[in-house]
Each structure stands twice: as structure tokens, then as C-alpha cells.
Structure 1
């Protein structure tokens, strides 16, 4: 699978303002909005593999919506990661599909790095979230699934299916209608 154009959904200032409101800080290394919540706000960003200060950043797909990340944290607290990791050791097909997700993640990060001039040789071969042999962070796996769609990351897809509708109570940014007001 070839990686999509990593700059196809370049963030607007309203997107960056929304993410700043979500995170409580200025977002760093944003390349694109990888996925939008049904409320219209960004909930997953594509991030450059090297932050502006030079720090390597392996988390290409970064979940930003506090309701989404809270729901994922709840799954993590319920032991889902340990169960998934155990299954990787028992199910060769799952392990193979998860290894393919790792390769997909690496290919997409490489494409983003090439497009932004931010390659990071010191993390070549290292993806995120524990891939390809364990589950270390469901946030990364869910963000990967949301960014690239179903069928690429089997454990990200599973975790996403376990989540409630985090957007059901409206936008996670107080007073927003899907886009943050400048200066929020």
C-alpha cells in the first residue's frame, strides 16, 4: 500500500486553535489533520517525525481529542493491552496482521518525513504503540486506525470498536461548533 499524500489535509488556523484548546498547549510538528471527530474538530493529527526543536517523534498519528483519549485510557485501565499482547503470542494470523500494521506505520512516517524534510534515521524501524510484538499504547493504535481507515491495524480497529461514542455529548471544545474561534 502506498502512503497517502501526508499534506493533503493541511490544518487551518482554526484547526490549530482547536487542537491548542484540546491539548492546553500549542501543538508541535503538525503536518495534517489525519481524522476529524463527527463534531468537525480534529481528533487525530499527522505529526512530523522530527519536532521543530529537533526531537525525534515516532508518534506519526497523534490523538488530540480529550474525550477520545479519555475513552482510550479507560480501555487501557481495564487491561485490554495485556489481553491483546497475550493474543499476539497465541494467534499467528493476528501477529502477522499486526506486523503488517507496523510496516504500514513506518511507511507512512517515512512518507511524512520525506515530504517535510524531517526524516529521522535514529528511529528507523521503530514504530509506535508497541508494534510489532506487543501492545504498549492503545492511543497510538486507535489514532492509526482512525487516520488510515479500517483493515490496516487490527488491534487499533478492535480498540476503536470497543469505544463508546466519545463525541455524543458534543464538541470537546467548550462553546465550539466544530471549529474553534480564533483566540480561544
Structure 2
């Protein structure tokens, strides 16, 4: 994971999703880092291919399109709210932090702010939990079902 990010990892409690080759794709992180900093991003995308794909999408108009869809589609908005609640529930297992109470990641539950965070949630929780993360993964040029790792153990 350190090699993927180019820096030491902080507060990791486990690997929440893996590439088909076994390398980490998403880590789960403590809600309070070891230095005391509150950290709302429980699911953190580490895979370089996934990270690059979400960065490329963020550089397009897709975030605006997803935000518009969220504002116009009541079912999508309700599912995104459920994703927010599921995210908070998953993180609460590792403790609660008053400073981030009710705050998840990626703009949930009312906006689309960070595709990296919502895609990480989708990868960790599985399809159907975070609809915006699922849409971001569908639109990206990276797939969790095809290894693109250059690290040891990767087949890509």
C-alpha cells in the first residue's frame, strides 16, 4: 500500500477490497488517525489504476452529470442516502469521533464531491450499495475484474 501511494499509510485497520491479483485496492482507515486527526474517509482508494481512472473522470463533466442526476432522481437520491448511512455504520465499528459525526465521504448524502471516495465505497461494499460509486466505476476505464497492477503479484 505504501508503494501504491508513495507514502506511509496511516491508521489502516484492514484491506477492504483487493484487485483480482490480490493487491490492495481499498483500505479501511480508523476514524481518528494515530496523530489524533479526525479522518472521515473510512474507505480509501489505493490502487493506482483505480485512482487514475477516478481522477480522469473528475476532470470531465461527469461529476456535474452525476450531481444533476442526484438532484432529479428521487430513487437515486434515496439510494445515495442509504449508502451514506451504510458508510457511517461501517466506520462506527472502529469508533466514533465527535468532530466527524454524521459526515461520511465523497459528498454523501447530498452531493457528488469525490469520485475516489464513492468508488472506494462501492469496491469495498460491493455493487448496489453506493449508486454513485457504481456509476463512476462503470464510466471509468479501470475495472476491478481486470488486473493492471505492475507491482509484484500483479498480472498486468
Shorter-chain TM range is over 0.9
For structure 2, the 5+ residue unaligned runs are: none
SS in 2 for 1:35: strand
Which structure would you say has the larger Rg? 1
CA 25–133 in structure 1, closer or farther in 2 if over 3 Å, else same:
same
Q: 84, 97, 113: which one pairs with 1:102? A: 84
The list of structure 1 runs, each at least 4 consecutive aligned residues, that deviate by more than 3 angstroms after superposition, is 165-170
Matches within 5 A, 1:112-131: 112-113=94-95, 119-131=96-108
CA distance 1:95–1:170, change in 2 (3 Å): closer
Q: Distance in 2 between matches of 1:169 and 1:155?
A: 23
Partner of residue 159, structure 1:
136
Q: TM-score, normalised by structure 2?
A: 0.93
Number of residue equivalences: 153
Relative distance call for 1:169 and 1:97 in structure 2 (3 A) is closer
1:112 alignment partner, SS class:
coil
Q: Is the 8 A contact 2:88 2:104 kept in 1?
A: yes
Give the alignment's Cα RMSD to 1 decimal: 1.4
TM-score when normalising by structure 1: 0.79
